[in-house]
Structure 1
Amino acid sequence: MGLDDKLGNAGQDAAGKAKEAAGKATDDERLEAEGKGDQVSADVKKAGENIKDAFKH
């Protein structure tokens, strides 16, 4: 994975955390769940990157 992919995943994770926090602050369960989902998606992508990086070396 390239640097662009890693930065994109980090951005998705940060956006997910922001959505989750906004959802908690406004009692919007849908927004909170959406933020958690974004974070999980970013974590899965990061895990895939780590596996690919492990096979490069």
Structure 2
Amino acid sequence: MNAIRAGDDIKTIQGNLGHASAAFTLDRYGHFTERMKQDSATRMEGFMKNVLNL
């Protein structure tokens, strides 16, 4: 889902899609957030290595 990848918050996406709950939206599109978590961890690792001069 491009909206999740673009950083839209889940409540906005829920409303835009007309879902009754954010939980339903996350259940349906949660696999996109897993990739975002991995990407975030990779960015954080690079940041930490830079800060610690590793």
Q: What is the TM-score normalised by the length of structure 2?
A: 0.50
Name the one with the larger helix percent: 1
Which structure is higher in RCO with an 8 Å CA cutoff and minimum separation 6?
Answer: 1
Which is higher, the Rg of structure 1 or of structure 2?
2
TM-score, normalization by structure 1? 0.48
